[in-house]
Amino acid sequence: MSNPIPCNEAEHLMHAYLDSELELTKSLEFEKHLQGCDRCSRAYKNLEVLQSSIRKGSFYYEKPKGLEKKIRNAFMKEESRGTRWFIRPLQWAPLAASFVLLFLFWKVIPPAFGPSSEARLSEEILSDHIRSLMPNHLIDVASTNQHTVKPWFNGKLDFSPQVKDLSSQGFNLIGGRLDYVNKRSVAALVYHLRGHAINVFVWPLAKNTPEESKMETDRGYHLIHWNANGMTYWVASDLNEAELQEFVKLFQSP
């Protein structure tokens, strides 16, 4: 029986497994590792969602309007001058090179440009939020007490997340969980308001770069993001915009 593969090897195998490029033995070892490793399992699921989103997105760029006509007119213009392409190759070469560059620009180069890093992160956060709403995925530690939830992360993360009690304002803390976002383990704090789950994803920034709150909406879910005190925060919920903004203000308050 082969030895179980470690996490660092599993991370390198994810893309190959997703593209069905692994041999059978390695595939089985990778699958066995996912069954016993929540962190790698979450990372693989995030990768699946990201690849699916890219495949569904349209990365095909139509040629500019009138490009075909311009090329045809260029040929006709040279024909009217009596140009013979095989006789004057040096004059034809620059025009041919231009056509090749145009083709590469409109057919080959655009697909290389994918979503921005922030757009990918936003998609990853939303995917994690939606996945957390599945049965038995929302919380790892169930408690309404901030002094129970906060210490639970000790030893599981390399930072201590801020946990606030906002029950007096109607936003009830129900627990927290470990999640995997942006290639690292993060804290996910979970609040409820009238049956709506609010996920607060928290992790440290590489650089302390404060940033005001920014909001976006995707598929009926609102995402709010900001940086403060060396940490980055992402809030995700299907709660209405006004109440979610109110939640963020309360969470940000000293």
- Which pLDDT band holds residue 56 (cuts at 50, 70, 90)? low
pLDDT at 68 over 90: no
Strands 141-142 and 196-204: unpaired
What pLDDT was estimated at residue 141? 96
Cβ neighbours around 42 below 10 Å, total: 19
pLDDT tens readout for residues 19-38: 777 787 788 888 888 888 88
Q: What integer best gives the mean pLDDT of the chain?
A: 81
235: nearest Cα among 208, 216, 253: 216
Helix H or strand E encompassing 231: strand 231-237
- Which pLDDT band holds residue 78 (cuts at 50, 70, 90)? low
For the whole prediction, is pTM greater than 0.75?
no
Distance separating alpha carbons of residues 243 and 254, to the nearest angstrom: 19
Distance separating alpha carbons of residues 55 and 18, to the nearest angstrom: 13
Distance separating alpha carbons of residues 196 and 73, to the nearest angstrom: 61
Distance separating alpha carbons of residues 167 and 173, to the nearest angstrom: 7
Query: What does the pLDDT average to over 132-149?
Result: 92
